[in-house]
Amino acid sequence: MDSINVTQIAQMIDISAVRTDADLDEIKRVIEAARRHRFICAFAMPCFTRVLKEGLKDEPDILVGGVVGFPSGADTTRIKVETAKELVETGVNELDMVINVGALKSGEYDYVKQDIAAVVNTACGLPVKAILEVAYLTDDEIRRACGLAVEAGVSYIKTGTGWANKPTTVDTIRLIRDTVGTSVAIKAAGGVRTLDTLLEMVEAGCSRFGIGINSAEKIIEEAKTRGGNTI
């Protein structure tokens, strides 16, 4: 892998506060951390997205993302569309939506594809990342979900919400990359807590990472300590 500096690492990280107990104090920490480290994007749960947008309004190079159907993916398509519409009106730059995992596992492939496509169509051209929640899927189901999401028009395949009890692995990144080729980008989320893990996933074909504030800041500090400005 070519050398990669700290700034480039920060530009791969979507810093987030999307746990159930994330409060306004944590949202403020996300805003401050995004400014300090120049993370590429910041995410909060929908009720706090407007706060995040307001807090970063003077930082045009820091994107704000919104989550749809988070974390279960089991909302109806209508609810997902309305959430996406509200987030777009709020001024988000990207949408991360959870696919309907239960429908996928039930073989309802047309429903899964149409569910994703409805959010893509509502996004008004903004990038949409389809969250597969790979911790609950077999390799064959991951391949199937990737195909449906690509057909529905997403910009990214995202591995998970970070709420599952199994971390994303480098092998899963390789599986997704082998499946989608270069048609879409990959975002890893869930269990990316060290610089080494991030770098291994970059080597495997991942270009974005959804990481909670504590782990994100730890990774940046680890990168600075280990290699100055170059890894």
**Which residues are catalytic, by number?**
96, 158, 187
Q: What backbone phi and psi angles, to 5 degrees, belong to 45?
A: -70, 160
Helical ranges in 74-160 per DSSP H: 77-90, 101-105, 109-122, 139-152
In angstroms, the CA 66 to CA 62 distance is: 13
Q: Which is it for the CA torsion 210, 211, 217, 223, positive or negative?
A: negative
| Site of tokens 């051209």 | 125
Q: How far is CA 107 from the centre of its chain?
A: 25
